[in-house]
């Protein structure tokens, strides 16, 4: 395996889903010697979205230029940015799972995540789905010790205002 | 394995009721305890069995799913490939989990959340107490594997909880691809 400990680059790609998007992007990066590290790639209502970090000797400009042909037909939107080295933002909190579901309306994510932020909670992963009239949010949150009780009360309050159900619970550690 | 004193035919013929789907508020309310000998409760038990029977792939149905916020549900995991211990088709009122162990994740769906499935950690072995509709007889059921999962899912319904409230993580929810 080649040593590719260069600069860290953040790459985003989004466009209408078709076969081969991942292969096209990954090939272009591999040709440049850019090594994919963490990524999420998923389909969001017919759009395919890739967010990834890679380490590369090439600069952001060079990588963007190499990916340019992919966006030439105007279908895929590609961005490349230099990002700092991996400095984990882990705040030493305890892992919790937050589920929110109810009738869709404006501001569910905004209201709920603001309450989490005000409690010092750090969202590490979040997905939402809208299926018919049902809106669903599931988030993984790191919470400082002593916070969950008060946060649960506060979440119940805003859930009531929004007319949704909120459930905050410890993410069970998978210790064997 | 059968439940002593249980005869599903004694419930009589039930009606097939419409199943409500999220975000219907009744699904998020804690169901009230019922008198299992009340004829209305027995009729509702028959309705749950009838509705479950005509719903493809349905292995359990709780009263809140037909719009009635009470502690009553039907279960039938007969013929399911993941079933180990089996008690056949039965209905329980006021059921409570008194022991739970062997926790493991598994994929669940729900007639009240028709478009999604999710990974939920459930106990692989449980002891449940409850009352049989009709006689009101108190029973203790010890079960495992798929029947245990189905019972936990239905008891959650009776307490106003959906599998969405218990999914394992932000990526543990899936758009359903196959409708049974």
Asked if B91 has any chain A CB less than 8 Å from its own CB, the reply is no
Q: Is some CB atom of chain A closer than 8 A to the CB atom of B164?
A: yes
pLDDT by residue, tens only, chain A of 176 residues: 444 467 899 999 999 999 999 999 999 999 999 999 999 999 999 999 999 999 999 999 999 999 999 998 889 999 999 997 666 655 678 999 999 999 999 999 999 999 999 999 999 999 999 999 999 999 999 999 988 899 999 999 999 999 999 999 998 655 54
Q: What is the pLDDT of residue A2?
A: 44
pLDDT value for A7: 86
Domain hosting B41: range is 19-175
Residue tagged 């899936």 (tokens): B174
What is the pLDDT averaged over residues B115-140? 97
Query: Could you tell me if residue B9 is inside a domain?
Result: no
**SS3 state of residue B124:** strand
pLDDT tens for B75-126 read: 999 989 999 999 999 999 999 999 999 999 999 999 999 999 999 999 999 9
Tokens standing for residue B15? 């009606």
- Could you report the predicted ipTM of this complex, rounded to two decimals? 0.83
Q: What is the pLDDT of residue B5?
A: 87
Domain annotation covers residue B26: yes
* Fold adopted by A94-170: Alpha-Beta Plaits (3.30.70)
Residue for token digits 């096209």? A24
A77 in contact with B at a CB cutoff of 8 Å?
Answer: no
Q: Which helix (H) or strand (E) holds A98?
A: strand A94-103
E-assigned strands of B27-115?
60-62, 72-75, 90-108
Cβ within 8 Å, pair A132-B164 = no
- Asked whether residue B110 is domain-assigned, the answer is yes
Residue B76 lies in a domain: yes
CATH architecture of A7-83: 2-Layer Sandwich (3.30)
Asked if A140 lies within 8 A of B113 by C-beta distance, the reply is no
So what's the pLDDT on residue A1?
42
Choose the catalytic residue: B108, B131, B147, B154.
B154
B32 DSSP β-pair partners: B70
Domain annotation covers residue B40? yes
| Residue B115, domain CATH | 3.90.45.10
Distance CA A131, CA B176 (A): 10
Q: A65 phi and psi, to 5 degrees?
A: -65, -40
Of the residues B100, B116, B165, the best mutation for testing chain A's interface (the one with the most A CB atoms within 10 Å of its CB) is B165
For residue A84, what pLDDT is reported? 79
Domain count, chain B: 1
Contact B138, B40 (CB under 8 A): no
Contact between A127 and B173 using a beta-carbon 8 Å cutoff: yes
pLDDT, tens digit, for every residue of B12-58?
999 999 999 999 999 999 999 999 999 999 999 999 999 999 999 99
Query: Could you give the CA distance from residue B43 to residue B133 in angstroms, rounded to a whole number?
Result: 9
- Which residues on B lie below 8 Å from A165 (Cβ)? 28, 165
**Domain assignments of chain A as residue spans, ordered by start:** 7-83, 94-170
Sorted by sequence, the CB contacts under 8 Å of residue B176 that are 6+ apart come out as B109, B114, B115, B116, B117
Confidence of residue B1 (pLDDT cuts 50, 70, 90): confident
Nearest chain B residue to A100, by CA: B165
Give strand ranges (E) for chain B. Answer: 60-62, 72-75, 90-108, 116-131, 138-144, 173-175
| CA of A126 vs chain B CAs: smallest distance (Å) | 5
Identical fold, A7-83 and A94-170:
yes
Phi and psi based region of residue A52 (left: phi greater than 0; alpha: psi -120 to 50; beta: remaining): beta
CB-based burial label for A88 (10 Å; 0-12, 13-18, 19+): exposed
What per-residue confidence (pLDDT) applies to A147?
86
| DSSP H helices in A7-107 | 21-31, 60-71
Look up the pTM and report it. 0.88
With cut-offs at 50, 70 and 90, classify the pLDDT of residue B178. Answer: low
């Amino acid at each position: 395996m080649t040593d590719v400990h260069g600069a860290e680059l953040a790459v985003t790609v989004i466009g209408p889903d078709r076969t081969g998007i991942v292969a096209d992007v990954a090939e272009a990066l591999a040709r440049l010697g850019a090594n994919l590290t963490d990524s999420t790639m998923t389909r969001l209502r017919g759009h395919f979205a890739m967010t990834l970090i890679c380490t590369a000797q090439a600069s952001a400009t060079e990588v963007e230029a190499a990916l340019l042909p992919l966006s030439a037909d105007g279908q895929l939107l590609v961005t490349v940015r230099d990002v700092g080295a991996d400095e984990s933002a882990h705040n030493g909190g305890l892992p919790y799972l937050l589920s929110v579901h109810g009738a869709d309306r404006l501001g569910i994510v905004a209201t709920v995540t603001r309450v989490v932020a005000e409690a010092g909670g750090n969202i590490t992963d979040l997905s939402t789905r809208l299926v018919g009239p049902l809106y669903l949010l599931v988030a993984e949150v790191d919470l400082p010790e002593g916070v969950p009780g008060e946060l649960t009360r506060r979440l119940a309050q805003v859930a009531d205002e929004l007319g949704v159900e909120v459930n905050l619970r410890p993410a069970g550690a998978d210790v064997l | 394995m059968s439940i002593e004193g249980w005869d599903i035919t004694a419930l009589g013929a039930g009606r097939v009721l419409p199943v409500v789907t999220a975000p219907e508020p009744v699904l998020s309310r804690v169901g009230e305890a019922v008198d299992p000998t009340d004829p209305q409760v027995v009729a509702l038990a028959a309705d749950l069995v009838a509705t479950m029977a005509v719903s493809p792939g349905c292995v359990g149905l709780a009263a809140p799913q037909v719009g009635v916020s009470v502690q009553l549900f039907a279960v039938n995991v007969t013929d399911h490939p993941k079933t180990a211990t089996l008690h056949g088709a039965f209905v329980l009122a006021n059921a409570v989990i008194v022991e739970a162990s062997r926790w493991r994740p598994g994929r669940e769906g729900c007639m009240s959340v028709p478009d999604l499935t999710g990974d939920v950690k459930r106990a692989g072995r449980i002891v449940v107490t409850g009352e049989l509709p009709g006689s009101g007889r108190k029973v203790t059921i010890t079960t495992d594997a798929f029947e245990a999962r189905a019972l936990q899912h239905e008891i959650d319904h009776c307490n106003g909880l959906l599998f969405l409230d218990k999914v394992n993580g932000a990526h543990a929810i899936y758009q359903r691809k196959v409708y049974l």
